[in-house]
Structure 1
């Protein structure tokens, strides 16, 4: 494989992207820093196909990233391959308002090939290539310049190894007929809504014990205020004010700004400074949360009752057996809340009762709750058995 020198100028990047735009797929990875900022700072982007690989210095002075971003978000002919790509996709979304598409995530694909729910990159490389990844540069400061050769080599290895692994995974998926299983998961990953930081939804990140509409209304207003402050200052939201303090202010709102000086987690200066004033304005503008917005109660899960809870446990057992039988991550077949909903009598809107999931698991799950399927022990092993009622 041809490894390019570090790409630091617009002309070299444009030439590389023009070549990669003719390829069926590219493998993408990023190095970024976000410890001291709200927005993740893209420091390096690595990209490869089956013949060449490069690291692009996205912080290089004057470099025009448009050809690269267009390749990732506008070119529908080239498949973009990531491993656990959520944060990489978020970075592209922040830069463009769009997500890479079409995309393929090797961590998700590994679920369909029986390699667990969240296989790490190092374990994936080891299982396919028998190579132990050098983790020495993982915690490097990617924003510092110049980058040394070891850092660049470490970064490029992420895409060179993955460019070897991806075709092998694809071949396995074709042989097992499981490629179509992943279409829905990949489209969900590519949905821009997953990466949009809506200040009006920020309250859902904060844990609070109260369900009073007025408390949650204040929490929503304060979380929105904090999100906008953090975005405007490009600071982590916790640097503005911590979650616990936010929840405490929502539950026990101060009557006047001077009271902020006595709030645990705030400095005394908040009693008279501008940011304290903006916090108080957010509180004053808060309105009780509407019934439609209130989060579901943890204790208002489907009314299972004792018998229903037992049925849900049997469904979990069935899921475990079936996942092992067909060598697939259980999470890809069905989620716990779906099993409990099925046990409680729900039949509509459950992914496990649609498409390939119904064929592989949902059909048997339905028969189990309807008394047409049971468990038996044969030679010390738990097996499924059809009941006489199943005909």
Structure 2
């Protein structure tokens, strides 16, 4: 397995130009995300079938040649379990690889589990046992060891023959177009514009709060999100979610009460003054301006019966198609459909997953009728 380490812009220009002369390239990234809000890119692996390059983005000033490759619509990019890789590309370069297909998705159309790992598929299809001992390494540390580099290179070296085998089987089974649609759907979900003012809706347990308490949680969650982005710090490293709920529920307005309720002492030391001012301001909001109580689908009349009817329909589709029930429509995706009908009045601009692409004909239209 021969590879070259790319540390300069002129080297990058050359390997990206070579890659753009092919129809398909293999891509992977190595990144670190322990305390940060955004993933920190440490290495990019690129294989065009002939040249295997390990690109070091931490030392290259001009990555525009690589961005050009990501955006070159004549070159298909192949990744495995690409969700976080897409987030890395979007955060680092402001774009996603397109067109793109995910081999984990391709494998799911062939009856493999939805989250089958790369090593398991390489073992199954190629009879090669990969060493995954470096998966938790610090990819921002330098220099990288030979073992780390070999590990990173293997991820794209074996991705090519794996992709070719999967492509043959998926095409033969009639699912190739569906695999591309599903990969596009995955990509679209990774580019989310967060509305800071609505961040409170993503706080687990927010549904338990009364409107008066939500009026406190809402500005607190907005502050926490903005602080996380500003400092590039994971949300819970700014202020723990459970602590956020405690402050909102009890309307805590002094340090002593925060300490008594078990709020993280470091968070109190750093943020108490700001939080107290937010809580005080929120307590002044008139009742008519409180957010509505969060109504969960599962608490709505008739939900359990409807969910069971939809789930049974998906089971029929699974038996007929040979695809896994969870892959056709997970619990979350079935809830999307119910929410789309009950709360969004079947808004065509907000189609749930089941009402588009390959799922529409397989099961979506039937689910819609059943509702």
Partner residue in 2 for 1:223: 221
Once residues 236 and 361 of structure 1 are traced to their aligned partners in structure 2, the CA distance between those partners, rounded to angstroms, is 38
TM-score by length of 2: 0.83
Task: Tell me which of 141, 144, 149 is aligned to 1:152.
Answer: 149
The answer to whether 1:115 aligns with 2:115 is no
SS, match of residue 228 in structure 1: helix
Asked if 2 retains the 8 angstrom alpha-carbon contact of 1:32 and 1:142, the reply is: yes
Partner residue in 2 for 1:18: 17
Partner residue in 2 for 1:277: 273
Task: Tell me which of 309, 314, 319 is aligned to 1:319.
Answer: 314
Once residues 304 and 238 of structure 1 are traced to their aligned partners in structure 2, the CA distance between those partners, rounded to angstroms, is 32
Which residues in structure 2 correspond to 1:28-177 (within 5 Å)?
28-60=27-59, 62-72=60-70, 74-177=71-174
Asked if 2 retains the 8 angstrom alpha-carbon contact of 1:260 and 1:268, the reply is: no
Structure 1 unaligned spans of 5+: 371-391
Asked if 2 retains the 8 angstrom alpha-carbon contact of 1:69 and 1:92, the reply is: no
Partner residue in 2 for 1:194: 191
Please report how far the alpha carbon of residue 198 of structure 1 lies from its aligned counterpart in structure 2 after TM superposition: 4.2
Change (3 A) 1:269 1:88: closer
Change (3 A) 1:301 1:110: farther
Partner residue in 1 for 2:263: 265
Change (3 A) 1:97 1:198: farther
Please report how far the alpha carbon of residue 239 of structure 1 lies from its aligned counterpart in structure 2 after TM superposition: 1.8
Structure 2 unaligned spans of 5+: none
| CA deviation vs aligned residue, 1:30-79 (integer Å, no higher than 9, x gap) | 1111113222111111111222211111212x54222112321x222222
Once residues 93 and 114 of structure 1 are traced to their aligned partners in structure 2, the CA distance between those partners, rounded to angstroms, is 30
Once residues 367 and 275 of structure 2 are traced to their aligned partners in structure 1, the CA distance between those partners, rounded to angstroms, is 51
Asked if 1 retains the 8 angstrom alpha-carbon contact of 2:134 and 2:151, the reply is: yes
Once residues 189 and 93 of structure 2 are traced to their aligned partners in structure 1, the CA distance between those partners, rounded to angstroms, is 11
Aligned residue pair count: 356
TM-score by length of 1: 0.79
SS, match of residue 191 in structure 2: helix
